[in-house]
Amino acid sequence: GDRPLDRMQRLRDLLAGVDAPAVHWQVSADLRPTPGGDRQPWLRLDLRARLPLVCQRCLEPVSVPLDLRRTFRFTSDEAAAAAEDVDCEEDVLALTAPLDLAELIEDELLLSLPLVPVHGECPVPLPVALGGGDASGAQPRESPFAGLRALVGPGSRGGAA
């Protein structure tokens, strides 16, 4: 199915504010046998989305593609999930209430966001310091501490007598 990103409140607050498309998701579930003979529920979740985030270099919108495949194994309680999650490749979750698939989708998108979204090459030129000035040709600013030397005196090292 498809779920509009603007219906995911926690994720929506992190988006760049441009038109947010939908996330495409596909889910499959099955019961797999365990060594004890019981059957344990498993879920596979595939997500594809292009998230409009803010580039942290130029502060313009950047479209970040996400293509995720997650596998979950369910246990009966939180203690078992915590104990088993340490040694497995799949995520282990406690299935103590009906599964909220919309919340799981939003959680996985949030966990997959880049720490610092940036363009490969920003569309807006960034100011770059070259030879003492910046790209606009402005001269470097005087140090805010330059005036202190005149106040202290030329031979003083700043120590008290």
Amino acid making up residue 39? R
pLDDT tens digits, one per residue of 41-92:
899 999 999 999 999 888 888 889 999 999 988 888 788 777 777 777 788 8
> pTM of the prediction?
0.69
Sign of the Cα pseudo-torsion (14, 24, 82, 86, in order): negative
In contact, 13 and 5? CB cutoff 8 Å: no
pLDDT tens digits, one per residue of 104-156:
999 999 999 999 999 988 887 777 655 555 555 555 667 767 777 777 766 65
In contact, 59 and 123? CB cutoff 8 Å: no
Give yes or no for residue 1 having a pLDDT over 70: yes
